[in-house]
Amino acid sequence: MIWEELFNLTNSKEQQTSRSTFDRDFDRIIFSHPFRKLQDKTQVHPLPEHDFVHNRLTHSLEVSSVGRSLGRQAGDLIIKRNPNLGSQISVSEIGVIVASASLAHDIGNPAFGHSGEEAISEYFNRNNDLLENQFSEQEWSDLINFEGNAQGFRLLNKSGYQGLKLSYPTLAAFTKYPRPSKVVDKFKPRRSQKKYGFYSSEQPSFNTMVQELKLMSLSENQWVRHPLAFLVEAADDICYHIIDLEDGCNLGLVSHEDTVELYAQILGEQFDPGKLKNIKSKREQISTLRALTIGKLIHQCIELFGDVESEMLSGKFDHSLADVIPLKDGLEDIKMVSIEKIYRSRTVLEIEAAGYHVINGLLDSFVPAAINKREGSLSKKDQVNYRLLPEDVQYELEHSDTLYIGIRSLLDYISGLTDTNAMNLYRKIRGISLPGR
């Protein structure tokens, strides 16, 4: 693969203006309805009464900020090694590509964190005997393995007024897992083949992107990542490792002393206990260490990116940058503490349990209604449930070419619900609360 093709420079016909194609991508994402909904979707912790922790929106903004730094520094390296690119794309534009893809990286995640994803998959697995024979093998694989990354790719590529029409470099940088849900050979040792990145409904859009950027093929329906996708992944890894720890400390799940020690392990000689003591607020102490830690991790990821750039372009390198940098052991220590004290805390387990019940309850109400509507055999209960769906969802269900496309539209709606909307709708359907009460 070569950078000129990966940036789609040979096919770019847009006139140069002060607002580049990639600036437009960023703006379209940040003003989109799916992105706005992230403000009420759980990151790790439910929102506490007396403090603030990260939700999906603030997490995405921070990942985008780190992604912009990674993209600019990588862009500087790329252009220095390929001077001919300098007249066609700027360091700043490369930063915006990574920032935009990072901004959108969680846009397909449903309510209640990862338990929402698992609940959708579980519903179809649980109803295997009733539903499987109505779908192709590939379609059924999509349904029983709901994937936030593939859902995000779908939202970014929806047709008509809903689609964001992003540039191919931004879409490719977004795509961490360039394969469909069902493949013959998953290339399991490769990081990029760990999950999947698009549904069968978006296969044509993905194929067009691959052809435009000349992404390298591993086998039928499996491709090598765009190199900038490694930077998006690194930005996410850095933020959730480092900032989840800060949230855990602020909520009292991890002690102040343990948090300082974990950050100090990353900072090494940069850590100055004397300067830290001059900061009177313990919260500000942690905030300062968090900022320094992120900066050091960005530096190491860029150094590694420079070392393996040619291997990325040839498809030989396929690891998370954060798993290979010299500070990987320090990050692993943070991860283990986070698993033990944060991700298994009671409040996190409670939101996960709620997610399973709420999402499964919504699917139990709406999927049979959607299927029976197509078959013309709605019961009274199904009629009521079906009418609760928004008009645009009903329209898509009734005008979809296949049942699979109709169910995909229904899942767009359910997975797009915020935590609050999903909970309120579930309560009303189950009679736990009534309108106006």
Asked if 374 and 402 touch (Cβ cutoff 8 Å), the reply is: no
pLDDT of 180-204, one tens digit each? 999 877 677 889 999 999 999 999 9
Read off the pLDDT band of 50 (50, 70, 90): very low
Residue 342's pLDDT is what? 81
Residue with the bigger pLDDT between 420 and 302: it is 302
Assign 3-class secondary structure to the chain: CCHHHHCCCCCCCCCCCCCCHHHHHHHHHHCCHHHHHHHHCECCCCCCCCCCCCEHHHHHHHHHHHHHHHHHHHHHHHHHHCHHHHHCCCHHHHHHHHHHHHHCCCCCCCCCCHHHHHHHHHHHHHCHHHHHHHCCHHHHHHHHCCCHHHHHHHHHHCCHHHCCCCCHHHHHHHCCCCCCCCCCCCCCCCHHHCCCCCCHHHHHHHHHHHHHHCCCEEECCEECCCHHHHHHHHHHHHHHHHHHHHHHHHCCCCCHHHHHHHHHHHHHHHCCHHHHHCCCCHHHHHHHHHHHHHHHHHHHHHHHHHHHHHHHHHCCCCCCHHHCCCCHHHHHHHHHHHHHHHHCCHHHHHHHHHHHHHHHHHHHHHHHHHHHHHHCCCCHHHHHHHHCCCHHHHHHHHHCCCHHHHHHHHHHHHHHCCHHHHHHHHHHHCCCCCCCC
Which range, of 38-42, 65-69, 105-109, averages the lowest pLDDT? 38-42
pLDDT of 382-431, one tens digit each? 888 889 899 999 999 988 999 999 999 999 999 999 988 998 888 888 87
pLDDT of 316-358, one tens digit each? 999 999 999 999 999 999 999 888 888 777 777 777 788 888 9
pLDDT, average across residues 211-229: 94
Report for 151-165, 211-225, 240-254: range of highest mean pLDDT: 211-225
Sign of CA pseudo-dihedral 222, 224, 228, 229: positive
Residue 162's pLDDT is what? 63
Asked if 330 and 266 touch (Cβ cutoff 8 Å), the reply is: yes
Residues 6+ apart with CB under 8 A from 251: 45, 48, 51, 53
Domains recognised in the chain with CATH numbers: 3-109+148-227 (1.10.3210.10), 111-145+345-437 (1.10.3550.10), 232-341 (1.10.3410.10)
Separation CA 55–CA 43 (nearest Å): 5
pTM over cut 0.75: yes
